[in-house]
């Protein structure tokens, strides 16, 4: 939350899930700023298990819709990778990079359960000089270009030419990263609002009524 609030240029998130209401609201606030950071999210297009598709994939769509509505300056991209045969790739990594200075890697998903229900471990590394920040940028480009199936140097060149990671992604000739669905059904809104299968803590796990719903 601190890194989201302080990022000035770029927030890059690569995670299996995205259903955290708290993180969604923090990101939406930054997107509403006239000169806030770009935000790029890479996540699984479709979970392999029926339970995750019902509780996690469906709960993600309303949050992505919320972020798209907040994205007044076209600085947000939510993408999912496919194979060359168009099959969805399971993204199991949990990585967050802020301004090419702070890298967080660990076990925490960007879901409600990770806040206080599941046991998680994260490591954060901060680059303190130009060399370190260049190393973080190279890591970030390597992660993205891996899914694009293009050299990371080419992605870096596109970003330099356009001055924007989102613009570089838009110009990428490879369609292996495709937009995540952000058009929820009424049922998906209910699942997201009640956080079914994705409680914030142990107490909430046993309580449906009285749960704080997603803000607008």
* Domain-located, residue 169: yes
Check pLDDT > 80 for residue 133: yes
Sheet holding 94-98, edge to edge: 122-126, 102-106, 94-98, 10-15, 38-42, 76-81, 177-179
Q: According to the model, what pLDDT value does residue 107 have?
A: 92
Residue 67 in any domain: the answer is yes
Weakest-pLDDT range from 61-75, 87-101, 141-155, 180-194? 180-194
Q: What is the count of structural domains for the chain?
A: 1
Residue 184 in domain: yes
What token pair was written down for 184? 């929820």
Count CB atoms within 10 A of the CB of residue 67: 21
* Residue 4 confidence (pLDDT): 97
* Cα 177 versus chain centre, distance: 13
Output the six-digit token pair for 181. 């669905």
Position 53 in a domain: yes
pLDDT score of 206 more than 50: no
Name which of 143, 138, 133, 146 is nearest 102 in CA terms. 133
Instruction: Identify the CATH number of the domain in which residue 116 sits.
Output: 3.30.870.10
Q: What is the pairing mode between strands 38-42 and 10-15?
A: parallel
- The residue-averaged pLDDT of 104-115 equals 85
For residue 136, being part of any structural domain is answered with yes
Q: What predicted TM-score, i.e. pTM, was given to this entire model?
A: 0.87
Do 111 and 176 contact (CB within 8 A), yes or no?
Answer: no
Res 210 pLDDT > 50: no
The domain in which residue 22 lies consists of: 2-205
Asked whether residue 168 is assigned to any structural domain, the reply reads: yes
CA 190 to each of CA 58, 134, 171: distance values in angstroms, whole numbers, following the listed order: 9, 43, 36
Residue 17 to residue 60: CA distance in whole angstroms: 8
Flag whether 213 is in a domain: no
Asked if the structure places residue 211 within a domain, the reply is no
pLDDT of residue 74: 95
Q: Does 156 score more than 60 pLDDT?
A: yes
Stretch 86-92: mean pLDDT? 90
Mean local confidence (pLDDT), 149-153: 92
How high is the pLDDT of residue 21? 87
């Amino acid at each position: 939350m601190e890194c989201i609030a302080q990022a000035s240029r770029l927030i890059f998130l690569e995670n299996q899930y995205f259903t955290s209401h708290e993180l969604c609201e923090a990101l939406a606030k930054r997107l509403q700023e006239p000169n806030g950071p770009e935000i790029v999210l890479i996540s699984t297009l479709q979970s392999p298990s029926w339970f995750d598709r019902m509780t996690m994939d469906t709960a993600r769509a309303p949050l992505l819709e919320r972020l798209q509505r907040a994205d007044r300056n076209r600085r947000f991209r939510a993408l999912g990778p496919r194979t060359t045969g168009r099959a969805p790739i399971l993204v199991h990594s949990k990585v967050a990079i802020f301004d090419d200075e702070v890298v967080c890697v660990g076990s925490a998903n960007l879901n409600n359960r990770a806040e206080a229900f599941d046991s998680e471990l994260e490591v954060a590394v901060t680059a303190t000089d130009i060399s370190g920040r260049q190393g973080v940028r190279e890591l970030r480009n390597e992660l993205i270009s891996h899914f694009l199936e293009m050299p990371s140097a080419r992605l870096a060149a596109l970003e330099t030419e356009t001055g924007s990671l989102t613009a570089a992604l838009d110009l990428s000739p490879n369609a292996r990263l495709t937009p995540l669905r952000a058009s929820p059904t009424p049922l998906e809104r209910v699942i997201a609002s009640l956080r079914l299968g994705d409680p914030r803590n142990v107490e909430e796990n046993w309580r449906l009524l009285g749960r704080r719903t997603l803000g607008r």
